[in-house]
């Protein structure tokens, strides 16, 4: 019961976000960084809602700590993956998520029935770059790992609707006095002990048999 209520609440919240998503970019994101003497890593995580879809992003970018084009690279990636859409909703992800493929990239992008999964792997950590070149380069493609998942609100709402609908159905079909516990047929005046509608033996049967 508690699970059904929670599910109903989440379903309602999803519906509200869904309606809002055509005029607003609701966006929760968090950026943090970690720094070692040689490496700088930016961690980025976000949950967004826009244009009938939820957008989840998680990604790490690792640079040499003295990498000069850090701001440029992150803004390019973020632009390509939805960060700037809050400024001009609704966005067209099919158009906007296209970004030029880097030479050290092993990414893939797949879609199934409106659900989109984008995996980004760009394997040049400073360590990798140094190993590859034999020295610490001043300029290189940064190491990057990330995931972008896009799910239509409709799917999430439908998923949260399952439990409430099952609970409602169960309540609607609850056994009631004078009614067949199986099909709900009115058994008033019935003494046969068997429901004439569906053939289910009713609770009165035992008493009648004695
Ligand atoms: Zn029946």
- Cα of 174 from ligand 1 centre, angstroms: 13
Supply the pLDDT for residue 145: 83
Measured CA distances, 105 to 92, 120, 144, 189 (Å)? 24, 8, 9, 77
Name 192's Cβ contacts closer than 8 Å, sequence gap at least 6: none
CA of 164 to the centre of ligand 1 (A): 25
How high is the mean pLDDT in each 10-residue block of the chain (210 residues)?
93 96 82 75 84 86 61 52 45 48 73 86 66 63 79 96 93 80 82 86 52
128: Cβ–Cβ under 8 A, 6 or more apart, which residues?
143
Q: Report how far ligand 1's centroid is from the alpha carbon of 139 (Å).
A: 77
pLDDT at residue number 161: 96
CA of 93 to the centre of ligand 1 (A): 53
Encoded tokens for 17: 């976000």
Under a CB-based contact definition with an 8 Å cutoff, are residues 184 and 173 in contact? Answer: yes
The kind and range of the H/E element at 62 are strand 53-64
Backbone angles phi, psi at 11, to 5 degrees: -65, -45
CA 171–ligand 1 middle distance (angstroms): 17
pLDDT of residue 208: 43
Give me the residue spans of the domains in the chain.
2-157, 175-210
Q: Which pLDDT belongs to residue 209?
A: 39
DSSP bridge pairs for 49: 26, 54
- What confidence score (pLDDT) does residue 141 get? 57
Does the pTM surpass 0.85? The reply is no
Q: Tell me how far the alpha carbon of residue 209 lies from the centroid of ligand 1, in angstroms.
A: 19
């Amino acid at each position: 019961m508690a699970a059904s209520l929670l599910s109903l609440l989440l379903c309602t919240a999803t519906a509200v976000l869904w309606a809002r998503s055509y005029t607003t970019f609701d966006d929760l994101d968090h950026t943090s960084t970690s720094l070692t003497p040689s490496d700088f890593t930016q961690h980025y995580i976000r949950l967004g809602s826009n244009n009938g879809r939820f957008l989840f992003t998680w990604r790490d970018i690792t640079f040499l700590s003295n990498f000069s084009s850090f701001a440029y690279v992150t803004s390019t990636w973020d632009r390509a993956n939805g960060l700037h859409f809050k400024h001009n909703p609704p966005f067209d992800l099919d158009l906007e998520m296209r970004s030029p493929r880097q030479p050290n990239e092993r990414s893939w992008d797949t879609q199934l029935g409106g659900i989109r999964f984008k995996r980004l792997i760009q394997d040049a950590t400073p360590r990798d770059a140094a190993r590859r070149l034999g020295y610490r380069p001043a300029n290189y493609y940064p190491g990057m790992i990330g995931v972008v998942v896009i799910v239509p609100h409709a799917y999430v709402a439908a998923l949260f609707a399952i439990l409430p609908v099952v609970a409602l159905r169960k309540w609607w079909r609850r056994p009631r006095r004078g009614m067949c516990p199986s099909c709900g047929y009115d058994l008033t005046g019935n003494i046969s002990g068997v429901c004439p509608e569906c053939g289910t033996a009713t609770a009165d049967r035992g008493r009648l048999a004695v």
